[in-house]
Chains A and B, each alone.
Chain A
Amino acid sequence: MTATAAKPEGLSVLDRPNSYIGKTVPRPNLDRLMQGRGLYVSDMELPRMAHAMFLRSPHAHARILDIDASAAKQMPGVVAVVTGKELEAIVTPWVGVLSHLKGLKSAPQHAIAIDRVCWQGEAVAAVVASSRALAEDAAEQVHVEYEELGAVTDMGTALDSATPVIHASLGDNLAFERIHNAGEVDEAFAGSDEVVEVDFVFGRHTGVTLEPRAVVADWNVAEGRLTIYQGTQAPHMVQNIAAMHLGLEERQVRVVCKDVGGSFGIKVHIYADEMATYALSKLLKRPIKFVADRVESFNTDIHARDHRCKGKIGVKRDGTITAFEIDDLTGIGPYSMYPRTSAIEANQVVNLVGGPYTTKNYRARARVVFQNKNVMCQYRAVGHPIACSVTEGLVDLAAMRIGMDPVEIRRRNLISDDAYPCGSPSGLKFERLSHHASLTRLLQMMDYDRLRVDQMELRKRGVHRGIGIASFIEVTNPSAAFYGVGGAKISSQDGVAVRLDAQGSVICQTSITEQGQGSESLTAQIVGSVLGVSMDRVRVILGDTDNTPYGGGTWASRGAGIGGEAALQAAKTLRGNILDVAAAILQSTPAELDIRDDAVVNAGDGAPRIELKELSRVVYFRPDTLPPGIQPELMATRHFVPREYPFAFTNGVQASWLEVDTETGFIKLLNHWVVEDCGTIINPQLVDEQIRGGVVQGLGAALFEKCIYDERGQLTNANMADYLVPMSGEMPDIDVGHVVSPTAESELGAKGAGEAGTAGAAAAVANAVNDALRPFGAVITEIPLTPQIVLTALGKI
């Protein structure tokens, strides 16, 4: 951290006149998006640009015997048909492992398959033509001869000796295994009054960003530079990887990220077809555009959450939870994704189960296996929905078993609000959480007692409503402990540069990125507040490796907490520099001066002394009038990374109120409440909307979303008509409340909020459904909670 002893100030750097911190202000640049004047990668066109489409395997597992592209190459508009073998000379293969995930293994993956395809949808050839339509026409004339191989599709049997091994060189289909043991688990279960054991099943689902993945790669052979226009959350990571595998220096690669049509973790990975597009541009020496269509999105955007988890909880009659145990199994497709790997989600599940509770007895095993299905990797709230559903499902079942109210069992077991700092049995460090305060606030918001009365009354009339509660913790502000320590060149620090322009406005370059969360806004709010400059005078530049400091980007709920602190420190330094110059001009001292409303004023009485515009004019155009020895620096750069805690944990609690139609199995969501604690809130509206959007992604998983594969590894619902996403008609209003426990690791005190909604929504819904079905003695531990699942549990089908 670069904070130096601050000059004496009456107020903290944030609590100042006209501060934007903690205020709802509209995001800059929304008008552009609302008027159709945004620039998404799918909108881009460059001179000489050609379009790539990928011919993809119809088989889940097959040997490629022959590719005959001779007819396709004669088709109108076709520039080239390129196979994996041809592209191998341009782009090297990669292996998605990290050294701190001990034992994690994977096989080399190529930009385009060479000898063998390992999932339905893996690219076997690229067709490049003057338009996407002509490329698709030509692709129909490419003849590929396959020899179909046995497909590994059931993760439950992936490790059986009779099951074929997908990558012979790896020896088996086990990508990663983690075993964790804390406390005295066997003794705890033996000493429990009740032990509940149940299997949880989670449907594999995906991100369904409205704008599919899109990239334009422009290799300028004369400059020896590759410019990549891509909707990505991590421009510097893409720069590093593209350079490494294309045989370039990082200085030869520029990554530009303009407007992005949704990301949610889908656009934070390196995809084979994107690498192929970079390589095609290099091979063909012209700009190449690739935009996934919706079928490709379903078949190649990372999937997530394909888990089966055995869970076990011990409880005493007084409600004391004695131990948790889990055995998690997840299938990740044929390769561990690059460079973040596909072991992180299972690892997170082990880390997070039981996290809100006091018991020290915890045993876990997680196994990650290969399959011939699309790749699986980190998607919004990585592992959290699994861990939260398992933990909160078990807690509710334990409460049910001992006849205790679900709120009461939580009150008796959640870590006390005055117990911090403390640790979890899985080794997590908690700086400061607020489970009890959050629960209390939630119960007030939802009027819990009245809802219970309503529930009983309605039940008498045959209306079955349920209340579900889910406490959760969320990993935010990750340090190098997430990826850096494992050898990945994914920066955990972020940088911000701020400068005063010649008219006293501020230009701010930040390494975090914007995909709609409000990175631009929070940066401008912080910089404006600290500098004393109005927000409309702060211009934020992001998403360009040539024009921003080096940094991680926006993922893992890190933009506000890490990028925001860098912005604060940079602005603070610039403020000091400005006051130094002002003092020299005004024959005063920096301590006697302040900046408010775009002008330097007397710190004491606020009387205006010199406008920033005038100060800039003097510095840039009449430096000759400054006292000798003064060299103004109207630009400052600062970086930040958390060092004390590997992650800034946040916490929260959600509740669902819903009605189950026991005749049709349909579930109607009536209300949803969230209380969460992300520390300092920079813009309440943006935080609330992050929570709401996250909740609805969790609700989609709870009720609708599932990638349905058949036993041959064919994805049977790869379109938006058959894969159901939450639409406005089925979603409830969502009430959001806050408890504020700032982190002391930064002056800003902000933790992340981007994934909290997704972390707990499905758990709250599942608990509410089981609460509604209590009179029937039915318990469901599988999502999505489709009518079929509900009716099956009720014994009606």
Chain B
Amino acid sequence: MPISLRVNGERVNAHVLPRLNLADFLREHLQLTGTHVGCEHGVCGACTVRVDDDIVRACLMLAVQAHGASVQTIEGLSDSGEISDLQAAFRDRNALQCGYCTPGMLMAAQDLLKQQPAPSRDEIREHLSGNYCRCTGYHAIIDAIEAAADARRRSVP
């Protein structure tokens, strides 16, 4: 099927099989391998991307469902600088080890901070509760997001 969408701001036209999911489309057709695949059934959050204004599990969405949409992946958010402060906080706090969950974590964290600029630790934990990390034990990730939220609030005049 023909689809047309925007990915990280660029217009993409493609022909895809109806069964192709968005994660595989991004990874295999567009070589955007920053979107990771962990469980392929919507539990682990490694494939989290933003479609229009919502974060979604790219493994649970078909590529054809993204027709007409605007998709942002970790590559897009990184290149635009939108999450550079979150990334700096993750780096300073060593909030990643193997890094495989990190693109999805950053997507979910940015989604939270857009909705709730001053989240409590419990709210951060709750918002990330669909993103699995086997390495860190989460504590450092919560610290990093908390620090980034504080810094954003302080930088708002």
Interface residues of A (CB under 8 A from B): 26-27, 30-31, 33-40, 42-43, 131, 133, 207-212, 259-264, 293-294, 515-518, 685-686, 689, 692-697, 719-721, 725-729, 731, 733-734, 757
Contact = CB atoms under 8 A, between A and B. Distances in A.
The 8 A-B residue pairs whose C-beta atoms are closest, nearest first, are: A36-B34, A33-B99, A516-B97, A261-B100, A696-B137, A516-B98, A36-B74, A729-B129
B96 A30 contact: yes
A693 B97 contact: yes
Nearest to B106: A34
B132 A721 contact: no
A294 B132 contact: no
Contact of B74 (A35, A294, A694, A695): A35
B34 A35 contact: yes
Contact of A693 (B19, B32, B37, B135): B135
A34 B102 contact: yes
Contact of B139 (A33, A293, A692): A692
Contact of A210 (B33, B46, B91, B92): B46
B22 interface: no
A436 to B, nearest CB: 27
Interface centre among A34, A212, A720, A734 (most CB of B within 10 A): A34
A654 to B, nearest CB: 13
B134 A34 contact: no
Interface residues of B, number: 55
Nearest to A517: B97
B50 to A, nearest CB: 13
Interface in B126-154: 126, 128-142
A263 to B, nearest CB: 8
Contacts of B19: 133
A696 B138 contact: yes
B34 to A, nearest CB: 2
Given A210-B101, A211-B36, A262-B100, A26 B94 contact: yes
Contacts of B46: 210
B126 A729 contact: yes
Contact of B140 (A39, A259, A692, A729): A692
Contacts of A262: 97-98, 100, 134-135
Given A516-B96, A692-B140, A693-B137, A210 B75 contact: no
A731 B137 contact: yes
Interface string B33-77: 111111111011010000000000000000000000000011100
B137 A36 contact: no
Interface centre among A27, A515, A725, A727 (most CB of B within 10 A): A727
A720 B132 contact: yes
A210 B100 contact: yes
Contact of A37 (B34, B97, B136, B137): B34
B102 A33 contact: yes
A693 B97 CA distance: 9
A728 B40 contact: no
Contact of B99 (A38, A208, A685, A694): A38
Interface centre among A35, A131, A210, A695 (most CB of B within 10 A): A210
A596 B78 CA distance: 36
Given A35-B87, A36-B35, A515 B138 contact: no
A513 to B, nearest CB: 12
A210 B36 contact: yes
Nearest to A263: B98
B114 to A, nearest CB: 18
A657 to B, nearest CB: 15
B139 A733 contact: yes
A259 B98 contact: yes
B99 A209 contact: no
Contacts of A518: 94, 97
A31 B145 CA distance: 16
B78 A261 contact: no
Contact of A294 (B40, B94, B102, B133): B40
